[in-house]
Structure 1
Amino acid sequence: MRRPLIIFYFLVVYALAELIWWGVLLVQSQPARSAMIIGEGAVFVILLFYGAYRLHKAINEEAALHQQQKNFLLSVTHELKSPLSSIKLYLQTILRRELSAEKQRAFLLNSLKDIERLDDLVENMLIATKIENKSYTFPKERFDFSTLAEEVLQRIRQNLPEKERLQARIDGDIPVYGDRFALSLALSNLVENALKYSPPAAAVHLELKEAGPKAVLRVADQGQGIPDKEKEKIFDKFYRIGSEETRATKGTGLGLFIVKQVLDNHGAVIQVKDNRPAGTIFEILIDRE
């Protein structure tokens, strides 16, 4: 990316130098028209700088997109390889060794957890692609959001070594009109994102309650938090804070993108707030009917 920028800057400087040189020659050859030549030259310089600025911005945006796509490929490769290697090891151990029925069952259960992890990854990639190319229609119905939240939390807790890490306070009978599958995926991504970015022993709190005509959902973690300048960017596709080579947490950069797209389609609002003393709070306001 550095070489194209050097060429770009060289061409801008060359074009500006040529413009000034020809302007000087015209003024020397036609002194009576100096004011007109200088005025027209100034317009050309302004247009040149404006065009250079727009082109420079486009090059930087393309470079940022390229880096995000590179990070995405690296993270997807890791996200796929890790559970596949784990499943392979479990199955090879079962086949090669004489294990008790209890041990075999434990290995198979762990393999199923890894398969669920792969299934979630594939589901996120598919829904993100469908949302982006507008092929997903968001089929909506009236359902109990409280029940949906309980189901999502129960599924996530099954794969948590320390189930008490996920704490919830959910009011009952909160109806909403929306896409049950898409909202469950959004909620799952929010909770798993909070668990991922919190310290290993730190609790994640989920709260669902009514507030007039709205349902209010809050997911609070105790991680490092999100800088103010990053809070708008975290919902961009593939965007993740830091580089894939130095980032400790796993992920593809699709989770929060899906969350934002799903909520926008439901006319819902999501706010990113600082938790106290540390961490982040994602607060969602969605119409109850």
Structure 2
Amino acid sequence: MKKHKFYFISFTYWFLLLYIVSALVWWFISLEAQNRQMYFYRYEQLRTDDFQYQDKIAALKDARHRKSLQYIGEGMTFFILIMIGAAYVYRTIRQEIKQADQQQNFMMAITHELKTPIAVSRLNLETMLKRSLNPDQRRKLLENTLSETKRLNTLTSNILTTAQLESGQHTLNAGEVNLSELLGEQLMQFRVRYPNRIFQGEVSPDIWVKGEQLLLELLISNLLENAVKYAPGPDPIYASIATFKGKYALLKFIDLGPGIATSEKNKIFNKFYRAGNESVRKTKGTGLGLYLCKRITQEHGGQIQIMDNQPNGAIFTLQFPILKPKV
């Protein structure tokens, strides 16, 4: 249905544009024909015995030539304006259609992302209410429920933070943040949330930056979550922090997943962008995580880059200006 609608809009657009250009060409041909007729009509009115006969012919030719130049100038002006307007309209329509598709994909993804943790948490709680469980079983269900609520919290934080940054309503509540400690805490939490995954960390101590702790925590969480989604289960996920050139905090997140195609490296930080069709996608996500990572990094005066890992996988590298070491 979408394709038929897009083809209909495209056909209508190009048909109308062709009609307008054709009308412009016909207008020029008609005016030029009228100019030629007026020239011959005035030429026939001249008398050959008039001593100014040659001067009047030259004047008529000059007037005809100036009229032709006027029509060409006006036609080219209208043509350029029409093409500029047509290009703007076409670009706007394509962007609107693309944005509508992205928003629809986002709604499908967000619906799935919200329903899953809610359904799991509800099932766990109903199981504890209806069945007599031993302490280990209850603890396991509670831990699973807590993990799902954290996932739900991250999801809602992504949506709310994105909305605030987009609207310009978010004011950065900057303070001194121990980025080393923040990364270490996030690695510990992910080891608890994903006990079957391997998280390796290399954390240089006491690297301080100026920023908002909640946003930086969300940034690290999103990058680790992204690695969990796309990296194969048995392979480890690696995260590190160190100083770089004595002026920057250098964060790295490395996975051994399929990597990111070169053609998509410039797109993955776009809002709602997810390669492929949302209805058939196996990995979960909303297309906000990496977009938000870039926005948070920029809000803190940092840089984020994506590189290929060898032999396979991806490396996300981030740089932030550091503060003087704490005494």
Q: TM (normalized to structure 1)?
A: 0.95
Tell whether the 8 Å contact from 1:138 to 1:182 is kept in structure 2 after alignment.
no
Tell whether the 8 Å contact from 1:75 to 1:252 is kept in structure 2 after alignment.
yes
Residue 157 of structure 1 and its aligned partner are, at CA, apart by 1.3
- Say which of 2, 5, 9 aligns to 1:4: 9
User: Is 1:166 matched with 2:199?
Assistant: yes
1:96-149, CA deviations, whole angstroms, 9 ceiling, x for partnerless residues? 223323222222221111111111111111111111111111111113211111
Residue 295 of structure 2 aligns with an amino acid whose one-letter code is Q
Tell whether the 8 Å contact from 1:270 to 1:282 is kept in structure 2 after alignment.
yes
1:191-241, CA deviations, whole angstroms, 9 ceiling, x for partnerless residues? 111111111212111111011111111111111212223222211211111
Q: d(CA) in 2 for partners of 1:158 and 1:125?
A: 24
**For 1:227-266, what aligned pairs fall within 5 Å after superposition?**
227-266=261-300
Q: d(CA) in 1 for partners of 2:151 and 2:158?
A: 11
In structure 1, what is the equivalent of residue 178 of structure 2?
144
- Say which of 24, 28, 32 aligns to 1:27: 32
Tell whether the 8 Å contact from 1:186 to 1:258 is kept in structure 2 after alignment.
yes
Displaced runs of 4 or more, over 3 A = none
In structure 1, what is the equivalent of residue 123 of structure 2?
89
Residue 15 of structure 1 and its aligned partner are, at CA, apart by 0.6
1:56-109, CA deviations, whole angstroms, 9 ceiling, x for partnerless residues? 111111111111111110000000111111122222222222332322222222
1:10-49, CA deviations, whole angstroms, 9 ceiling, x for partnerless residues? 2111111111111111110013222331232123222222
Tell whether the 8 Å contact from 2:251 to 2:319 is kept in structure 1 after alignment.
yes
Q: d(CA) in 2 for partners of 1:87 and 1:182?
A: 26
Residue 177 of structure 1 aligns with an amino acid whose one-letter code is K
**For 1:1-289, what aligned pairs fall within 5 Å after superposition?**
1-2=5-6, 3-31=8-36, 32=64, 33-163=67-197, 165-211=198-244, 212-289=246-323
Tell whether the 8 Å contact from 1:220 to 1:279 is kept in structure 2 after alignment.
yes
Q: d(CA) in 2 for partners of 1:191 and 1:105?
A: 25
Q: TM (normalized to structure 2)?
A: 0.84
Moved more, 219-228 or 19-28: 219-228
Q: d(CA) in 1 for partners of 2:155 and 2:271?
A: 15
Gaps of 5+ in 2: 37-63
User: How many aligned positions are there?
Assistant: 288
Q: d(CA) in 1 for partners of 2:237 and 2:135?
A: 35
Moved more, 177-186 or 36-45: 36-45
Q: d(CA) in 1 for partners of 2:122 and 2:175?
A: 40
Tell whether the 8 Å contact from 2:248 to 2:319 is kept in structure 1 after alignment.
yes
1:261-285, CA deviations, whole angstroms, 9 ceiling, x for partnerless residues? 1111111011111111111111011
Tell whether the 8 Å contact from 2:108 to 2:278 is kept in structure 1 after alignment.
yes
The answer to which structure, 1 or 2, has the higher relative contact order (CA under 8 A, 6+ apart) is 1
Residue 13 of structure 2 aligns with an amino acid whose one-letter code is F
